């Protein structure tokens, strides 16, 4: 969606984005979170990371890059800053939009489990509150039929 001057429109209360493909939701999502550091910050926030130093320790990311990603994720409404309970520092927490990326992170994780590890190679596991491994995530139609690239298509405006 473009503004009156033909430039890409900003998200409400968020900075302007130079959209790669303005009509494609996949491209817009990648414009907002499509680098590995952003998704790893989101992943770690989902796993309880809150402090700058905690994100840095978990990811190994350089301080300047982490500061940039945290700034962008906050500016685009995926994270918000608040004062920590100690009152001595700021912490980052996921917004509803950030939490809504859970199925994306889950799908990337499960793809990696099947395609990025050799059989028997050690890896982390995602488990539910009872410690049970999370089952495979498969998109389905309303009647339960699996959706695939072969059974869907994009309708363009």
The pLDDT tens digits along the chain (157 residues) read 444 444 445 555 667 788 999 899 999 999 999 999 999 999 999 999 999 999 999 999 999 999 999 999 999 999 999 999 888 899 999 999 999 999 999 999 999 999 999 999 999 999 999 999 999 999 999 999 999 999 999 999 9
**3-class state of residue 115 by DSSP:** helix
DSSP per-residue letters across 22-67: TT-HHHHHHHHH-SHHHHHHHHHHHTT--SHHHHHHHH---HHHHH
**What is the rounded CA–CA span in Å between residue 125 and residue 131?**
10
> How much is the pLDDT for 4?
45
Helix axes 63-75, 36-46, angle to 10 degrees: 70
> How much is the pLDDT for 17?
83
Side-chain half-sphere CA neighbours of 113 within 13 A: 14
Query: How many Cβ atoms are within 10 Å of 66's Cβ, its own excluded?
Result: 19
> How much is the pLDDT for 55?
98
């Amino acid at each position: 969606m473009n503004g009156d001057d033909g430039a890409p429109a900003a998200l409400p209360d968020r900075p302007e984005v130079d959209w790669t493909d303005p009509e494609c939701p996949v491209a817009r999502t990648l414009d907002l979170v499509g680098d590995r550091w952003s998704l790893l910050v989101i992943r770690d926030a989902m796993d309880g990371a809150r402090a700058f130093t905690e994100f840095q320790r978990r990811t190994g990311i350089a301080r300047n890059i982490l500061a940039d990603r945290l700034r962008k994720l906050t500016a685009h409404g995926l994270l918000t800053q608040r004062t920590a309970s100690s009152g001595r520092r700021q912490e980052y927490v996921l917004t509803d939009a950030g939490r809504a990326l859970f199925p994306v992170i889950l799908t990337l994780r499960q793809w990696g489990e099947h395609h990025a590890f050799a059989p028997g190679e050690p890896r982390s596991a995602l488990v539910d509150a009872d410690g049970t491994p999370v089952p495979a995530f498969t998109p389905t139609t309303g009647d339960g039929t699996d959706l695939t690239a072969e059974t869907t298509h994009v309708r363009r405006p």
